[in-house]
Chain A
Amino acid sequence: MGISRRLIFSFAAAAVLATAAPAAAEPVTIRVPSWWFGEPSNKDWLAEAIKAFEAENPDIKVEGYNVPYADYADQILVQMSSGNAPDVVHLLNMNIGDFLRVDMLRPLDDYMAGGDITPDTYTPAQFQSPVMVDGKTYGVIQMIANYIPFYNAELLAAAGYDSFPETPDAFAAMVEKLTNAPQQFGYAAMVKPGSYVQTYMDVAQWVIANGGAFAADGKPTIDTPKNVEAIGLFKKLFDAGVMPRDVDKPTYRSMWWNGKIAVLFDGSWMMGFARANNPAIEADLRTALMPWPGHRTASAFQIWAIPKEAKHPDEAFKFIAFLQSREWQRRMVAMTNAVTPRKNSLPDGYLEKNPWFAPFQEAADKYSVSIMPAGLEMYGNEVLKIIADHVETILYRDAPVAEELAAAQAEVEALVAQ
């Protein structure tokens, strides 16, 4: 009887300890939705980084999951507004302003104080709107997505070009010469109705490269002569049939790595996509600076932010900071060919092995201009849609460029005045 009492006591004690011990060591789980979890290279880099972060921080677990880019803002919006906000969100300089306008993001300055994300170590965009607004920082840039010509040297050589043109007119003449539709196109952009963000991004590259801007210091400048000139040239090429029509971005990108399109203005990750899908083409792919004097390059920034209602903001920032370390930024370049916001983050010998990357780095360092209209970031998507709708009217209804941009200007001015 005595033995059985002792046994019962032992079991009870063990049970209490068994339940108490894991509770004390229960790691905090942070939720990180991102479209990178569904993309080649990016998902591998994130998986490696998470593994290393969890090993270094056994009290934190990262639950990373894929939310496709196209659905991202919708899904995050619903999660945030239903009180189920994730701990880290993946935004762009094109939509972070929308989230800021409705006061959904947490300032990160307290977390960043004393850290090494400073103007000396980071890209200037980290300290400008819309990442920094009214002196407060609302995100950390993870990647610079700048767009420069990615061209097929063999196709150019076949047409008699041994170097990439350096002026817009020479570029226009070359892509016309390279076009033999529908077998081959000289250039491709998102000229497909309704995709307003993509249409905006592709047209903004031309405007910015031409020295134009859709806004300055918060004032719309949509109908300036520089913009009219840039979009006029874009329209001329559209009418000349040098770009495949009604084709979405994934499709024309695959046409490019299959040798059907000579030039894209696209990001550095495209080399990884080309290698994965058609390794034979890699030897023919080259890059160049934008063929305009000044080489100005439109840049989108991929940003991590923390929702106001995040349950574990401290742990979330710890994870973000981990991804910004020099080690993991270098690893990101090595694995994904991305342009990093941290200065001097190229792995040793990377440029020698990947000479095509040099113009991306040079463009990011010297010629990068935010793709968002400066000072209008808080109106984010609405401004982009207004501009894209009027560009569509120019492209598809043959509306005069200057008149249509003036109409867009008036519409954005009215929006800002509201």
Chain B
Amino acid sequence: MAVAAMTTAAPARRGRTYADDQDRWLPHVLILPVALAVIAFILVPLGWGLRLSLTDTKLIGMEFTDGFSLRNYAAVLASPAFWQAFWVTLLYSAGTVAGGVALGLATALVLNLDFWGRGVVRTLIILPWAIPHVVAALIWQWMYNPDYGVINYAIGWLPFIDAAPNWLSDPDLALVSVILVNVWKTFPFAALIILAGLQTISDDMYEAADMDGAGPFRRFTDITLPGLRHVLAIVILLLTIWSFGNFVFIFLMTQGGPAGATNALVVKIYFEAFKFFRAGPAFAMGAVLLAVSTVLAVAYLAVVRRGRHD
């Protein structure tokens, strides 16, 4: 009986231990410094900026007199110059993403092959990503120089090139030239992420397709691309977000010129705030840019979440 009672009785419930408590509070403690930094250096300035975007302040932090209104937003949204800058930003982002993803995908496909020296090539591919923006901009500026640059020197050998292109001072070429530099800088990142995605696709699928007589193009469209769907979505969104707010290359290479051909929104915001001392409109433009970036970030999170569920 006693034995039966012992065997049938439910095991005594263990009380909450210190380890359980630690599991509950430790993550919060560990994340606290980062959370405080995010609040202090991102959320508070962001809130301050949004507040100032509703004022007539001339300088950052300076007193304003006319109270709060949506006047800056109305003026900004009615300004053709703002929409021109927005259009340049869209072109810059679209060009960067298309070029970066296409080149990244092609590079990843090559790096996924088994060939001698693959490790070295994979390391070398990273170099553009590792070179600081300022250094890259200076290198490319000289490469683009119409009189002394290596690019014009190289294409000078081509029989069908009559005149040396002015890569950065021709308004029809300047944006493309800056986009190419950004593509060169970002494609290694895309290649690495896509390469990681390629390695998750099972070889069995390719072998089965081989047995069914599928050619390389068919294998690429029916196995590789679907297998990379989520990875590509993430890469596209990340490159879009980054290039939308990318200031460095345009500022260092053309400062929005020639004749406004590369005048992206971030460059325009910089001039408004720091050269013309008109912080209110600058913050309003920044808020519009922030709204677009937020939409993209939410889309990014949705894609990541869907990828996890799949």
Contact = CB atoms under 8 A, between A and B. Distances in A.
Interface of A: 73-74, 77-78, 80-83, 98, 101-102, 104, 181-182, 191-196, 244-247, 381-382, 385, 389-390, 392-393, 395-397
B14 interface: no
Interface in B251-304: 253-262, 271, 274-277
Contact of B171 (A74, A83, A390, A397): A397
A382 B147 CA distance: 32
B259 A392 contact: yes
B112 interface: no
20 contacts: A74-B274, A80-B59, A81-B59, A81-B60, A81-B61, A102-B59, A181-B147, A193-B255, A193-B257, A193-B259, A194-B254, A195-B257, A196-B255, A245-B146, A245-B147, A246-B167, A381-B275, A385-B275, A392-B259, A396-B169
A149 B274 CA distance: 33
Given A78-B60, A82-B61, A396-B171, A73 B274 contact: yes
A397 B169 CA distance: 9
Contacts of B253: 194
A25 B226 CA distance: 77
Given A81-B61, A246-B141, A396 B170 contact: yes
Contact of B256 (A73, A102, A194): A194
B139 to A, nearest CB: 14
A195 B168 CA distance: 12
Q: Indicate the size class of the contact surface on chain B.
A: 20 to 34
B145 interface: yes
Given A80-B59, A102-B58, A182-B148, A393 B259 contact: yes
Interface string B114-156: 0000000000000000000000000001001111100000000
Nearest to A399: B259
B70 interface: no
A81 B146 contact: no
Contact of B277 (A77, A194, A246, A247): A77
Q: Is the interface of A mostly helix, strand, loop or mixed?
A: helix
Contact of B254 (A181, A193, A244, A397): A193
Given A193-B174, A193-B258, 5 more contacts: A78-B60, A81-B60, A194-B258, A194-B262, A396-B258
A246 B144 contact: yes
9 nearest A-B residue pairs (beta carbon): A194-B255, A193-B257, A194-B257, A193-B258, A182-B147, A102-B58, A393-B259, A81-B61, A396-B258
B12 interface: no
B62 A381 contact: no
A104 B171 contact: no
B136 to A, nearest CB: 17
Contact of A77 (B174, B260, B274): B274
Interface of B: 58-62, 141, 144-148, 166-171, 174, 253-262, 271, 274-277
Nearest to A181: B147
A240 to B, nearest CB: 14
A104 B59 contact: yes
Contacts of A98: 275-277
Contacts of A396: 166, 169-171, 258-259
B62 A81 contact: yes
Given A101-B58, A101-B277, A396-B258, A193 B169 contact: yes
Contact of A191 (B167, B169, B259): B169
Contacts of A193: 168-169, 174, 254-255, 257-259, 261-262
Contacts of A382: 275-276
A5 to B, nearest CB: 52
Nearest to B260: A389
Given A81-B59, A98-B277, A246 B259 contact: no
A73 B257 contact: no
A196 B256 CA distance: 10
A86 to B, nearest CB: 15
A102 B61 CA distance: 12
Nearest to B267: A194
Contacts of A191: 169
Contacts of B168: 192-193, 246
A389 B274 contact: no
Contacts of A192: 168-169
A102 B277 CA distance: 8
A80 B63 CA distance: 13
A82 B48 CA distance: 13
Contacts of B274: 73-74, 77
Contacts of A182: 147-148
A96 to B, nearest CB: 12
B61 A392 contact: no
Determine which residue in B144, B174, B255 has the highest number of CB atoms from chain A within 10 A of its CB, and name it: B255
Contacts of A385: 271, 275-276
Determine which residue in A193, A393, A397 has the highest number of CB atoms from chain B within 10 A of its CB, and name it: A193
B255 A246 contact: no
Contacts of A195: 255, 257
A194 B271 CA distance: 12
A74 B275 CA distance: 7
B171 A77 contact: no
A389 B257 contact: yes
A74 B59 CA distance: 11
A246 B275 contact: no
Nearest to A404: B259
Nearest to A82: B61
Contacts of B258: 193-194, 392, 395-397
Contact of A389 (B148, B259, B262): B259
Contacts of B277: 77, 98, 101-102
Nearest to B271: A385
A243 B260 CA distance: 22
B164 to A, nearest CB: 10
Contacts of A73: 274-275
A381 B276 contact: yes
A194 B264 CA distance: 12
Contacts of B171: 393, 396-397
